[in-house]
């Protein structure tokens, strides 16, 4: 049966709690991430992405103990990012039960690391998350260090480089759209998904199912990833973990 890739993203913040941000700021505490994983189990979610948003800033790795607890609870494959800077980091994260790793800041700070990782563990294990933000002239560049530090790479250059280095998938995260719940950055998604041959995953901005369907139908992205729309019941941001029904997921089938 056709199953679109519609992926909840759980951000890990202070005290190993799940959080949600707006434009990488204004973080709201959502409590124990394992509870969120349990609820996503009940929705029969096919995959999850977990990202520790403080790990790089604090120069540490995502908690392996937390990942081991999540692996016990999770009934679906999950990918993990947070402070990954070495092959040993990847090995340890995979040893907890994660299926894939998500490399963020280190991918552009040291592109050869992505090449080494894909050669060691296989490109299907290596995802790269590109955090993209507009500059004052409206040009979109890749940023590192939780969106604080601009790189020299445009969004297109960064995605092409990551493909060249062997990334198996690229998550395109629009910082300007993060948590705003007013729709994806469709222009960005089109420009990158048309430019690389590896699967691209849209992240940042979805308000509801209609936004997901629009992004899937009007771009060549391979998957939809969402944070806010799967943890809030509406734009008032009352917490309610949710996920599209099977009937709603079937709507994606006829879009391509």
| Interval 58-85: pLDDT, tens | 999 999 999 999 999 999 999 999 999 9
Higher per-residue pLDDT: 26 or 167? 167
Residues 35-60: tens digit of each pLDDT? 999 999 999 999 999 999 999 999 99
Provide the greatest CA pair distance for the chain: 47
Please name the fold of domain 6-255.
Answer: TIM Barrel (3.20.20)
pLDDT of residue 3: 76
How would residue 122 be classed by pLDDT, with cut points 50, 70 and 90? very high
Given a cut of 60, whether residue 1 has pLDDT beyond it is no
> Which of these is catalytic: 46, 52, 89, 131?
131
Residues 207, 210, 214, 216, Cα dihedral to 10°: 90
The pLDDT of residue 254: 84
Looking at residue 235, its pLDDT comes to 82
Q: What is the mean pLDDT of the chain?
A: 96
pLDDT in tens, 169-203: 999 999 999 999 999 999 999 999 999 999 999 99
Is-contact 230 18, C-beta < 8 A? no
The yes-or-no verdict on residue 145 having pLDDT over 70 is yes
Q: Residue 194: beta bridge partners?
A: none
Give yes or no for residue 219 having a pLDDT over 70: yes
Regarding beta strands 140-144 and 126-134, do their DSSP bridges make them parallel or antiparallel, or are they unpaired?
antiparallel
User: How many other β-carbons are positioned within 10 Å of the β-carbon of residue 99?
Assistant: 16
Q: Is 69 a catalytic residue?
A: no
Alpha-carbon distance of 228 to 10, in angstroms, equals 9
Q: Are strands 200-203 and 149-154 parallel, antiparallel or unpaired?
A: unpaired
What are the sequence ranges of the domains in the chain? 6-255
Tokens of 28: 């709201």
């Amino acid at each position: 049966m056709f199953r679109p890739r519609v992926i909840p993203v759980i951000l890990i913040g202070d005290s190993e709690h799940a959080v949600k941000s707006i434009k990488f700021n204004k973080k709201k505490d959502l409590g124990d991430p394992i509870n969120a994983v349990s609820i996503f189990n009940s929705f029969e979610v096919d995959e999850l992405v977990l990202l520790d948003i403080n790990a790089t800033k604090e120069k540490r790795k995502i908690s392996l103990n937390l990942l081991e607890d999540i692996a016990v609870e999770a009934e679906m494959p999950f990918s993990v990012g947070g402070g990954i800077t070495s092959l040993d980091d990847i090995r340890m994260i995979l040893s907890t039960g994660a299926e894939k790793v998500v490399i963020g800041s280190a991918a552009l700070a040291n592109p050869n690391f992505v090449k080494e990782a894909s050669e060691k563990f296989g490109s299907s294990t290596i995802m790269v998350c590109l955090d993209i933000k507009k500059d004052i002239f409206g040009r979109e560049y890749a940023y590192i260090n939780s969106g604080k530090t601009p790189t020299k790479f445009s969004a297109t250059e960064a995605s092409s480089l990551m493909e060249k280095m062997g990334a198996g998938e690229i998550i395109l995260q629009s910082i300007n759209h993060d948590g705003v719940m007013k729709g994806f950055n469709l222009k960005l998604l089109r420009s990158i998904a048309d430019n690389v041959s590896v699967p691209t995953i849209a992240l940042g901005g979805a308000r509801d199912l209609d936004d997901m369907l629009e992004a899937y139908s009007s771009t060549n992205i391979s998957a939809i990833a969402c944070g806010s729309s799967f943890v809030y019941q509406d734009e008032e941001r009352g917490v309610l973990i949710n996920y599209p029904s099977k009937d709603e997921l079937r709507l994606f089938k006829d879009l391509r």
